[in-house]
Amino acid sequence: MRSALRQLLAGLLSLAVLCTPLWGSSVPTVGVVLLADQAQLSAAGAAPGATIFDGDKLATETKGSLRVRAGLAQLQLLGGSEVVVNQTGTGVSATLNKGTLAAAAPNAAALEMHVSEARIREHGDGAMRAQVTLVSSKELLISAQRGALEITVGDQTEIIPEATSYRVFVDPPLAGPANASAKAMPRPQGPRGGGARSAGRSRFILIALVVTAVATILTVDEALESPAHP
């Protein structure tokens, strides 16, 4: 009996030794699902409390909704949306492949968003609350509800002021798109590239919308302002 027990214990210890390298190389955890309705987490049904790993794809059905905490940031996907979440050196990045993403973060290092060819992050180091919609590969809708946003495509960077909404055309024609309900954005002044650009084609242009971010971001409630909220 003792011999059989020793053999069993030896086998269990050997199995533990073999499994240790696998556990040590597990994919990093980047967040957790807070609320889910008709939503998926990497092709499986998403549920509150589910763990989000580096590289996971978050998606919602047409009438679905998904809210997650990722590092210090919080993200909310509206219906018919898809986002891939990755860990960065200072926080997380969220790549919007389709639909609409609402996001909040306490500082610029906590979150950066990638949409089409654009990188979007908080301008400065304060709290940020924003919403981004991917209309097409060349057209975005961006609203800055709290804090200014910094959008970069290639070597061109522009600032979207707080409480404003803009239509963004990536790689626009030289004449620029026509939009009867919008006005051209004035070139912002500031330490990160204000003033007139030198001669050359712009990587993207911004068209200011009449509707402000306060009116358009209706689905992001106060819980998104603080990562400490459940």
pLDDT classification of 35: cutoffs 50, 70, 90: very high
Q: Could you tell me the sign of the dihedral formed by the alpha carbons of 6, 11, 12, 14, in that order?
A: positive
pLDDT of res. 134: 97
Q: Which two tokens stand for residue 71?
A: 């590092």
Task: Convert the pLDDT of each residue in 114-159 to its tens digit.
Answer: 999 999 999 988 999 999 999 999 999 999 999 999 999 999 999 9
Beta bridge mates, 204:
170
Domains observed in the chain = 27-225 (2.60.120.1440)
Task: Convert the pLDDT of each residue in 75-129 to its tens digit.
Answer: 999 999 999 999 999 999 999 999 999 999 999 999 999 999 999 999 988 999 9
Please enumerate in sequence order all residues whose Cβ is within 8 A of that of 57, keeping only pairs 6 or more positions apart, or say none. Answer: 40, 41, 42, 43, 82, 83, 84
pTM: 0.74
